[in-house]
Structure 1
Amino acid sequence: MAFALLVLVPIVFLFLKHFLFGDRQLPPGPNSLYVLTYLSQLIYKPHRALQKLSQIYGPLMSFQLGDQLMVVASSPDIAKEFCKTHDRIFSGRHLPSVYHNLPGIMNSSIVLSPDCSKSWKLLRSIGQNCVFSSKAMESNAWIRKAKVMDLVSHLRTNEGKVANLEDMMFATLANIISTALTSRNLFDIHGQENNEYKEMMALVNEVIEKTTTLGLVDFLPILKGIDFWSKKKAMDMYQKIQQTWGGIIDERKSMGHENLSSTPDFLDIVLADSTFSKDQIGNALIELLIGATDSTTITTVWLIVELMRNQEMLTKVRDEIAQAVEGDELNETLLSQCHYFQACIKETLRLHVPAPMLVPHRAIETCKVNNYVIPKDSMVLVNAWAIAQDPNHWEDASSFKPERFLDSKIDPTTIDTNEKYFTTLKKEKPLLLISKLRKLNTI
């Protein structure tokens, strides 16, 4: 009898697995033991490690890392499935464990929100209307020009001295987004030798690192009960976020709604909705700061480096810009007509992908991709670096060749935006804007 049970139980198990769960076939991939041999590379150079694995298991693969199922896309067609065809299902993001412990973060995260909640839609709508729509970008052109001229002025007064290009670009971009969001500079770009400047730069960099780094507990939830270090890091980060934005928020609150300008900024509008706390506003502002500065700083610095390495290209860019603005004042519209310069930007984005794995996606429900099942809560990674380095799609992929983008329909700078929430929103007052956003079913 015992022998019969030993034989019967495995058969029943296989029967149930095949007929009840046979349609839940995961994408191919390495087993957990094999993944451990790549662990060091996955920690320090994940895009390269995952590219090597994709050459073995294919452009769509999966593997278990602790308790977390990882799904990786390494080709344009598979990436399109996740980022366009099934964009809604994979629109969630994975929050680092540190982030989970920030006060109010679940109702104020814009970039790393685990799902498309009502508060997420509201904040995205306000950000689109105030900062990122075509109309807002046009009306804020003076901000970008003013901050760039501040940078040029600073460089002129320090001619002949060593300059930290990355810090200066970061400070300039931070001032652009901070002025668009709060009508205030975040840095004094002329005071780079001051301790206050250095402390603020270190603070922002620390917050960026902690908000974008996944920890051990993210892959082993069993450790959450003893995860005291994440809570400590979260409270430390909370204090730094409030140090960055708290004073600006309190000052604006003290002004009252009656003193708002005719063209309110992002901070005016979120303060007009009493449902957002000071903590939540600070969280939203720091995420927008990270989104507007980190990748753009990396791309700008690499663009300058590549042009300095290729003096002929640098001369060509200079001549093209000089010809475009001859007799006119320099503005963004004229720069958009500099096709070779634009090609250099696109090639920089291809060769030096600022976020090689993009932001980790989260499947908010189970979905089928290429006849494979992607279970709910899977972490989906798009290996943009591997796609940009694929010799099947790029000739001489490791070389900097802007010419490949001349007369090309490929545009890595294109960002899809959902305009349906914003087409009817013009010059509204803050409270009326929020009311209309609610009627448009965005919150």
Structure 2
Amino acid sequence: MELEWTCALLFCSLLFLATCLLLLLIKKPSDKGTQNRPPGPPGWPVIGNMLDLGSIPHQTLYRLHFEYGPILWLKLGSVSTMVVQSAKAATELFKNHDADFCDRKCPDSLTAHNFNLGALSLSQCGVYWRLLRRLYSMELHVNKRINETAHIRRKCIDNMLRFIEEDAAAARARGESGEVNLAHYLFVMAFNLIGNVVLSKDLLDSQSKEGHEFYDAMNKVFEWAGKPNVADYFPFLKWLDPVGIKRNMVRDMGRTMKIIARLVAERAEEKKLAREKEKNFLDVLLEYQGDKKGGPDTISEQNVKIIVSEIFFGGSETTSSTIEWGMAELLCKPDLMRKAKEELNSIVGPSRKVEESDIGDLPYLRAVVKETLRLHPPFPLLLPRNALQNTNYMGYSVPKNTQIFVNAWAIGRDPDAWEDPLSFKPERFLGSQIDYKGQNYELIPFGAGRRICVGILLAERVIHLALASLIHCFDWELGNSTTPETMDMNERMGIAVRKLVPLLVQPKKRIV
């Protein structure tokens, strides 16, 4: 990724060298209109601070916090950008300026097939956005609906446990160590869970060729969405697509849309034949695609496909990466893993699996999840916001169309909000009322305000049950000659931030 980024920047620098020289000759930059901006590092001509971001932007921005303070000003190409990096600054934003900064700054890659116009996370606040929020809240993420889908989570997690056990046993039978790549099983579990909730089917099994095609296409979409794109920083270059990300996204997102279109058609045919099946979220979308075409409560055929794909984007990699990070942190600290096991043994016992009804009685497990989300928010910069109007924010002048990054990764490490912020200490949450649902601005892995993630309740159920099941059903040893002290905890960028080196572990079954 760093090589691609460097090549893209070189291309841009050469392309605008003449412009740069001309601007420098015309006049010296004036301080007028910028003297009340937040502080930030000086930028290069034309490219501004693009080189300051590095390959892991949220980490680079966090380090700049110590030199320039909790509110940072950058010029990324031609895009003015403000970065919020402390709990105090986040509180001011979400309490007093949520409406001012509620617009979205959409990456060029996600405008492929008009994805940004149909997706809840990227569309502008308006009639369509409110319709989708209402649908998600009433039909997918309301407590009643989530309770009704408990059997789906149980099935998908049980399948994951079975796949892990069978593959490890098969490896040992071949004379190998029985090591498995935990990230793979977690992603398949999360992908199939979304498939069942939205489409009423497992998409990844030995019988589903279509499911594997969808999986492969989605992985490519994740890849292109996570790559840095010169066109995002020089909007007038969008027509040229200088590094080809938009072209690749058009191709691979088109593949996902075609597969979703077939799945939608299958479900519509089943409804016509009146086959009795449990109602899923696609059925709800199809009802809104029906007789009211052209009205304010209508969802177009294209937007149905976009909504389905968005749910997979938002619910599969983010959920699976959080569970992987939680397991990695516990395996780095055997004493904490032992505490989690002891709590599970005390509450659940040695002869049965964990159930969702047990989670309320497992305070240490819940603290582990909170601490994991504090240090490893799935979207470390959340989704970029955009200033709707000129705004006075904490004494600084923020112009209209400024891009706003909220660095949740840095806020989780804010020394003014957290004691010993770089250490993984679940105990800090025992007896604490701090939660991640948007009211405590020192812990905002899902965002806050009107743009908060609508999938918190479902993610919460999946993460707790899956992590508890892995801890309780197996004893784990690190693979590949890794020790807790030598485990690689570096990150890689994608749709969500994942471990650079996937977690390789050896499971030993404990619970039948």
2:186 is the alignment partner of 1:177: no
Distance across 2 between alignment mates of 1:171 and 1:323: 30
| Matched residues, number | 399
| Counterpart residue number, 2:43 | 32
Aligned-partner Cα distance in 2 for 1:133–1:234: 32
Aligned: 1:216 with 2:235 = no
User: Is 1:66 paired with 2:77?
Assistant: yes
* Matched residue SS, 1:95: coil
Cα pair 1:321 1:335 within 8 Å, conserved: no
Deviation string, structure 1 residues 292-330 (Cα, Å, up to 9, x no partner) = 122221110011112222222212211211222248763
Instruction: Describe the shift of the 1:227–1:313 C-alpha distance in structure 2 as closer, same or farther (beyond 3 A).
Output: closer
Distance in structure 2 (CA, Å) of the matches to 1:238 and 1:295: 19
* Aligned position for 1:310: 333
Partners of 1:214 and 1:78 lie apart in 2 by 27
Structure 1 partner of 2:497: none
1:11-26 counterparts in 2 under 5 A? 25-26=36-37
TM-score, normalised via structure 2 length: 0.70
Alignment partners' CA distance in 1, 2:144 and 2:87: 31
1:370 aligns with one of 381, 394, 408: 394
Q: Is the 8 A contact 1:38 1:49 kept in 2?
A: no
Pick one of 61, 69, 78 that aligns with 2:89: 78
The answer to whether the Cα contact below 8 Å between 2:118 and 2:306 also exists between their aligned partners in 1 is yes
SS at match of 1:174: helix
Alpha-carbon separation, structure 1, partners of 2:332 and 2:253: 41
Matched, 1:125 2:139: no
Q: Which residue of 2 aligns with 1:235?
A: 250
Letter in 2 for 1:219: Y
Instruction: Give the counterpart of 1:390 among 408, 414, 426.
Output: 414
- Residue 183 of structure 2 corresponds to 166
Contact persistence 1:367–1:376 (CA under 8 A):
yes
> Which runs of structure 2 are paired with 1:243-392 in the superposition (5 Å)?
243-256=258-271, 259=274, 264-274=279-289, 275-326=298-349, 330-392=354-416
- Asked if the contact 1:90–1:363 (Cα under 8 Å) also holds between the matched residues in 2, the reply is yes
Q: Equivalent residue of 1:176, what SS?
A: helix
Deviation per residue, 1:339-392 (Å, 9 max, x gap)? 111111111112223222111112233322112222222110111222222333
1:241 and 1:283 in contact (8 A); partners too: no
- For residue 336 of structure 1, what is the amino acid of its counterpart? G
Report if aligned partners of 2:413, 2:421 keep a CA contact under 8 Å in 1: yes
Among 93, 96, 107, the alignment partner of 2:117 is: 107
Contact 1:174 1:293 in 2 (8 A): yes
Q: Aligned AA for 1:167?
A: H
Once the two structures are TM-superposed, the CA of residue 205 in structure 1 deviates from its matched residue by 1.9
TM superposition score normalised by structure 1? 0.80
1:440 alignment counterpart: none
- 2: CA distance, partners of 1:344 / 1:90: 32
* C-alpha displacement of 1:112: 2.1
Alpha-carbon spacing, 1:263–1:89, altered in 2? closer, same or farther (3 Å)? farther
User: Cα RMSD over matched residues?
Assistant: 3.2
CA distance in 2, matches of 1:120, 1:251: 27
Shift in CA distance, 129/46, structure 1 to aligned 2, threshold 3 Å: same
**CA deviation map 1:209-234 (0-9, x unaligned):** 32344511111122133237355224
- Secondary structure in structure 2 of the residue aligned to 1:259: coil
Q: Give the secondary structure class of the aligned counterpart of 2:80.
A: strand
The answer to which of 117-126 and 335-344 deviates more is: 117-126
Answer yes or no: is the 8 Å Cα contact 2:77–2:234 preserved in 1. Answer: yes
SS at match of 1:70: strand
Structure 1 unaligned spans of 5+: 1-9, 423-443
- 1:331/1:141 Cα in 2 relative to 1: closer, same or farther (>3 Å)? same
- In structure 2, runs of 5+ residues without a counterpart are 1-26, 172-178, 290-297, 439-445, 455-512
C-alpha contact (below 8 Å) 1:365/1:375 kept by paired residues: yes
Contact 1:147-1:175 within 8 A present in 2 as well = yes
* Separation of aligned partners in 1, 2:277 and 2:168: 40
Residue 164 of structure 2 corresponds to 155
Letter in 2 for 1:340: Y
Tell me the equivalent position of 1:426: none
